[in-house]
Amino acid sequence: MNRSLSGRGVLIWLAGFFGVIIAVNIWFVMASLRTFSGEDEQKPYMQGVAYNQTLARRAEQSALGWRATIATSRLESGAVRISVILNNPDGTPQSGLTLTGELHHPADEGLDRTLHLEEKARGLYQAELAGIHRGAWDVVVSTAANLPPFEARRRLWVP
């Protein structure tokens, strides 16, 4: 049986081909929107408006000359300890601050955790978190708004 391809057959094949392509593209778009909204910050416009204040805080922080060392360690209990050592430019410990922070997962913001750092010794601030899996994490530590401005960011490997 020898059938020839007619114009109607070509149209059906073309419509089917492009229909499959469009359906797969729609599925990909819906899947990507469900897993990532595209925004890294909750209020990017407001962050842009306040950028001059951010630059002023960074200049003030630079004038203070504080240096931070941030490290992580896994405790025997399985919890993760985040340690921040804060020093003055002359190397003496900077104590008496209220430090807060966040532990950001680079790929899944649903895993982000808030840090409440306590001063354990002069210039040594620590927080312990349970349920943190191993891998790369970003740590952001800053002082409260009413204190001298300080912010430190580091990408660390959590064992």
pLDDT, tens digit (0-9, with 9 covering 90-100), for 3-17: 888 999 999 999 999
Give the pLDDT confidence score for residue 109 in this predicted structure: 82
Q: Phi then psi for 26, rounded to 5 degrees?
A: -60, -40
Tell me what the mean pLDDT of segment 45-54 comes to. Answer: 88
Q: Could you tell me the pLDDT band of residue 47, with boundaries at 50, 70 and 90?
A: confident
Rounded to an integer, what distance in angstroms lies between the CA atom of residue 123 and that of residue 115? 17
Contact 132, 116 (CB under 8 A): no
Instruction: Report residue 100 CA to chain centroid gap.
Output: 15
Residue-range domain boundaries for the chain: 7-37, 44-158
Give the H/E segment covering residue 113. Answer: strand 113-116
Structure tokens at 49: 């408006």
Structure tokens at 127: 């927080």
Give the pLDDT confidence score for residue 3 in this predicted structure: 80
Closest CA to 152 of 108, 97, 111, 78: 97
Place of tokens 């909750």: 42
- Asked: is 44-158 a CATH 3.90.550.10 domain? The reply is no
pTM of the predicted model, to two decimals?
0.71
pLDDT surpassing 80 at residue 45:
yes
